[in-house]
Amino acid sequence: MIEREGAIKIYSEALGAKGAKGRLVRVAEGFYEVLIEIQGKLFTGLLPIASTVILAADPEEEIPTLEVER
């Protein structure tokens, strides 16, 4: 789960962003509000949910599978 103010990677065709570093500020009314790092500087942006993909910057922990005897 991506937490508010969590570190993310941003993929957006409109920005030409392919894995740009950023932080999720909030999700509201069809937009992601993000802080996106471009050329070492942070910018606030509203990116449309329909054409933007965000991923957590760090992978989830692997949870060991439990075997159940029947």
* Per-residue model confidence (pLDDT) at position 44: 95
Residue 29: give the domain boundaries: 7-56
17 is a domain residue: yes
Residue at 62: amino acid letter: E
pTM: predicted TM-score of the whole model, two decimal places: 0.77
61 is a domain residue: no
% of the chain beyond a pLDDT of 90: 54
* Per-residue pLDDT tens digits for 7-32: 999 999 888 889 999 999 999 899 99
* Per-residue pLDDT tens digits for 45-66: 999 999 999 999 888 888 888 8
66 is a domain residue: no
Number of folded domains that form the chain = 1
- How many CA atoms lie less than 13 Å away from 19 in the CB half-sphere? 2
Check which CATH number belongs to the domain holding 20 and give it: 2.30.30
DSSP assignment, residue 53? E
Task: Give the integer Cα–Cα distance in Å for 62 and 53.
Answer: 22
* Per-residue model confidence (pLDDT) at position 65: 83
